[in-house]
Structure 1
Amino acid sequence: MCTNKHLYKVICISVFLLCGVLGFSQSTKQKQLESRRQELRREIQKINALRAENKSKEKSELSLIEDFNYKINVLSNLIKVTNQQANLLTREINSNQKKITSLREELVQLKEAYAAMIVKSYKSKNQQSRIMFLLSSEDFKQAYKRLQYLKQYSDYQKEQGRIIKAKTVELQETNMSLLKQKEEKNKLIAENKVVQKSLESERKHHETLMTTIKRNLSLYASQIKQKQREADRIDREIDRIIKAAIAKSNKAAGKKSSSKSFALTAEEKVLASNFIANKGKLPWPVERGVVRLGYGTQRHPIDRSLTIKSNGVRIATTKGAKVRAVFNGEVSEILKMKNVNPIVMIRHGNYLTIYKNLSSVYVKKGDKVTTKQEIGEVFTNPSNGETILSFTISKGFTTENPNGWIYKM
């Protein structure tokens, strides 16, 4: 059975380790939140830069609503993350304040005990010198024990002095940490107030624009439906091309042409494996940009009764922006359709990346491309100055969310 003393030690060690783990966990969480906050701030800077660039252009109400919705979403997330940071700092501040109180109390007790020990030691020296204390021993064994006692007592005094010094330093460091945390929290609160004002301004502009739009909602609904029909027409043609490419690869490999996946060569298998290994680390298809429309089926921000089906993401970028291959591969198709800007399709084994709305293309079908190689330029709408790249990732003809593939999208 464990003794009480042993049980006390186990409890103390467990508490110490738990505090250490909690402290490390909080520190890691704080770093993650700060990293996310900086990402959102950079995103806002990119949005503002794109707005400033196209300020002289007259945008459509549909485009403006997308702009407002996106910035409102980013600003809201920034406020949320900053609040999480401030709340975490509050917990850390409270923890440090408790620690400071505990350290102060402990120091008082240590100093009182140390002072009493010094006084006792001084009195003991006056009453009887060390030599007399040792000479009065009955035998050598007792004298040796007394000598050891004096040494241990002296070491104990030094150790207590060292502990007091260490606790004093710890108290000072904790005080400094507390002041820094309070300063960081005040800074976060001040920054959040500025962001909150910006969010309120964006929401007011959004509400004003929505009031204008609602006066003629049927016209905008018609535009939205037409835009979706055009997107669906392009996606159907892309699906047709992919299915034909899959059938061709399977026929060449002597497999059933009805298969839903590419028949891969040994080289293509390696390429597909490398593509998968880089999931979440692929570069953006443009050097600078913000996602204006996300992946998947979603309610339209103007008419909630309508849905948008997005097989990829729409990225707003700068005029003259170059389109880059996100990974090594082979240009499987340069698609040109009536009233549609060129589309480049790049195959990476059994995966494809698709780049829509290009003004010019620098590659041709069958070309081998490398990661970040420029393959074309994004089309800029002359009427509103918008430069939008539509980007899709698919496995065969099943699309996947680019957010999970592109680094920090």
Structure 2
Amino acid sequence: MINKKLYISILIILFSFFSVKSQTRKQLEAQRIKLNKEIKQVNSLLFKEQKKEKNALEELKDLNKKIEVRERLIATINLEANALSKEIRVNENELEKLKKELKKLKEDYASMILKSYKSKSQQSRIMFLLSSQDFYQAYKRLEYMKQYTSYRKKQGEGIAKQAKVVEKLNDSLLYQKQVKDTLILFQKNQKQEIEDDKKNQERLISLIKKKGSKYKRDLQKKVAEEKKVTASIDKLIRDEIAKANKVTKTKLKTTPKTVKKNEFVLTPEAKALAASFEQNKGKLPWPVREGIVVRRFGTQPHPSFPGITINGTGLHIVTASGSTANAIFKGTVLNVLVSKEGRKNVLIQHGNYISSYNNLESVYVKKGDRVGTGQKIGQIFTDKVSNKTTLIFVLFKNTTRLNPASWILRR
């Protein structure tokens, strides 16, 4: 006979097991897909184009990035495979338990049907009714017979449902084993790829060591130049804030007492815009359609040369050739700066925030223009030697630099 409570409890266990476990595995699967996409982007954006002039440091930096992403991918595959192995073991135990339960249910049902057949023939049913003492007892006996027939029917249906649960779990188990086999094969291929990359890495490190002093001098010179450019941009931004404040003070006809030096004087509209910008922290769109971050924000060791420290003023994002920089939020073009090499830097004001889009070849906006979220503001410069298209994306609150990665969407 079917134990109804046991059947319901089995379904609840199965449901809770699949929802919790699959959620964990779905997160790992999503992470694996994301990392696999990132590997493809690295190959496409950093290795697809042949560099006209090879630079061992630049090659090593790109290779390190690929190895780092691939190692994260392998680690994720391991976690996903382990999660699948645990799932399979639990499912195998559960399947065995369900099969035993189903066998017992079928045996009980068969025994009940046999007894019913022997004891409840058509003639005995009629005699059972006719032997009633009165009409009310006969009616009750008839109802009992109907209920008993209905109960047997439900038992049969219950067994059919239980069989489907077993079949579904069995199919799920086979699928999980196929997924695990595919993951293991994929992991094996990734390990081979990383071994090849590490051989190239060793070759480049050896080459850099031979010309260490030259590379070090070149790097130190580049770092010093970047500091000068950063200081120049900082001064320009302070000047732009001062200019903007003159206009705002004229409009307001009074100077707020709380405003400090090198901070924007805000109109009520600008305050509302700044508040809206802050509310969208972590949800702002990327300044490029697709791309990979090759330099993070903040002070960090050089990725290819030990002993050299670099400072990331924002995010260095490599994207596809011909790509445009897009505004991350609505605002007003504060200014368009031009470097001595002819590269453009568009500064967009969002209340007391500024988003900076540097290393542009051409721009589509001018000072004073109002721009919308996602609007194209310029084409990003492609280096003719390295064939890389890199946007330098910087974010300020007044004159203080912020980490843009904390403000834009995670990819």
SS of alignment partner, residue 395 of structure 2 = strand
1:22/1:340 Cα in 2 relative to 1: closer, same or farther (>3 Å)? farther
1:16/1:250 Cα in 2 relative to 1: closer, same or farther (>3 Å)? farther
Which residue is 2:143 aligned to?
Answer: 148
1:221-240 mapped onto 2 (5 Å cutoff): 221-240=216-235
SS of alignment partner, residue 120 of structure 2 = helix
Which residue is 1:47 aligned to?
Answer: 42
SS of alignment partner, residue 334 of structure 2 = strand
Q: CA RMSD in A?
A: 2.6
1:375-390 mapped onto 2 (5 Å cutoff): 375-390=377-392
Instruction: Using the TM superposition, name which of 36-45 and 164-173 deviates more.
Output: 36-45
1:212 to 184, 207, 215: 207
Which residue is 1:5 aligned to?
Answer: none
SS of alignment partner, residue 88 of structure 1 = helix
CA apart distance, 1:162: 0.6
Which residue is 2:25 aligned to?
Answer: 30
SS of alignment partner, residue 145 of structure 2 = helix
- Length-normalised TM-score, structure 2: 0.89
Which residue is 1:391 aligned to?
Answer: 393
CA-to-aligned-CA distance 1:251-290 (integer Å, 9 cap, x gap): 6250356346423222223322332343333332223322
1:261/1:132 Cα in 2 relative to 1: closer, same or farther (>3 Å)? farther
Is 1:250–1:259's contact at 8 Å kept on the other side of the alignment?
no
CA apart distance, 1:306: 2.5
2:376 to 374, 391, 395: 374
- Length-normalised TM-score, structure 1: 0.89
CA apart distance, 1:129: 1.1
CA apart distance, 1:224: 2.4
Is 1:295–1:312's contact at 8 Å kept on the other side of the alignment?
yes
Q: 1 CA distance for matches of 2:51 and 2:301?
A: 30
Which residue is 2:120 aligned to?
Answer: 125
Structure 1 unaligned regions, length at least 5: 1-7
Instruction: Using the TM superposition, name which of 337-346 and 320-329 deviates more.
Output: 337-346
Instruction: Using the TM superposition, name which of 311-320 and 154-163 deviates more.
Output: 311-320
Which residue is 2:353 aligned to?
Answer: 351
SS of alignment partner, residue 388 of structure 1 = strand
Which residue is 2:328 aligned to?
Answer: 326
CA-to-aligned-CA distance 1:36-71 (integer Å, 9 cap, x gap): 222222222222222454215223222112201111
Instruction: Using the TM superposition, name which of 334-343 and 41-50 deviates more.
Output: 334-343
Q: 2 CA distance for matches of 1:224 and 1:12?
A: 70
Q: 1 CA distance for matches of 2:15 and 2:122?
A: 48
1:50/1:127 Cα in 2 relative to 1: closer, same or farther (>3 Å)? closer
Which residue is 2:55 aligned to?
Answer: 60
1:308 to 307, 310, 323: 310
CA apart distance, 1:12: 9.6
Which residue is 2:256 aligned to?
Answer: 255
CA-to-aligned-CA distance 1:215-263 (integer Å, 9 cap, x gap): 2323222222222222222222232233344455556250356346423
Is 2:52–2:385's contact at 8 Å kept on the other side of the alignment?
yes
Which residue is 2:362 aligned to?
Answer: 360
1:295 to 294, 297, 322: 297
Q: 2 CA distance for matches of 1:333 and 1:19?
A: 61
> What is the letter of the counterpart of residue 398 of structure 2?
G
Instruction: Using the TM superposition, name which of 50-59 and 39-48 deviates more.
Output: 50-59
Q: 2 CA distance for matches of 1:401 and 1:376?
A: 22
Which residue is 1:108 aligned to?
Answer: 103
Q: 2 CA distance for matches of 1:63 and 1:52?
A: 11
Is 2:46–2:388's contact at 8 Å kept on the other side of the alignment?
no
> What is the letter of the counterpart of residue 316 of structure 1?
V
Instruction: Using the TM superposition, name which of 16-25 and 337-346 deviates more.
Output: 16-25
Which residue is 1:243 aligned to?
Answer: 238
CA apart distance, 1:128: 5.9
SS of alignment partner, residue 332 of structure 2 = strand
Is 1:247–1:258's contact at 8 Å kept on the other side of the alignment?
no
SS of alignment partner, residue 328 of structure 2 = coil
> What is the letter of the counterpart of residue 207 of structure 1?
E
> What is the letter of the counterpart of residue 402 of structure 1?
P
When the two structures are aligned, how many residues end up with a matched partner? 401
Which residue is 1:158 aligned to?
Answer: 153
Which residue is 1:4 aligned to?
Answer: none
Q: 2 CA distance for matches of 1:383 and 1:115?
A: 82
SS of alignment partner, residue 207 of structure 1 = helix
1:243/1:400 Cα in 2 relative to 1: closer, same or farther (>3 Å)? same
> What is the letter of the counterpart of residue 301 of structure 2?
R
Is 2:56–2:207's contact at 8 Å kept on the other side of the alignment?
no
Instruction: Using the TM superposition, name which of 57-66 and 270-279 deviates more.
Output: 270-279
Is 1:332–1:345's contact at 8 Å kept on the other side of the alignment?
yes
> What is the letter of the counterpart of residue 155 of structure 2?
Q
Q: 2 CA distance for matches of 1:323 and 1:397?
A: 22
CA-to-aligned-CA distance 1:95-143 (integer Å, 9 cap, x gap): 2212211111111110010011011101102496111112222334433
Q: 1 CA distance for matches of 2:156 and 2:276?
A: 61
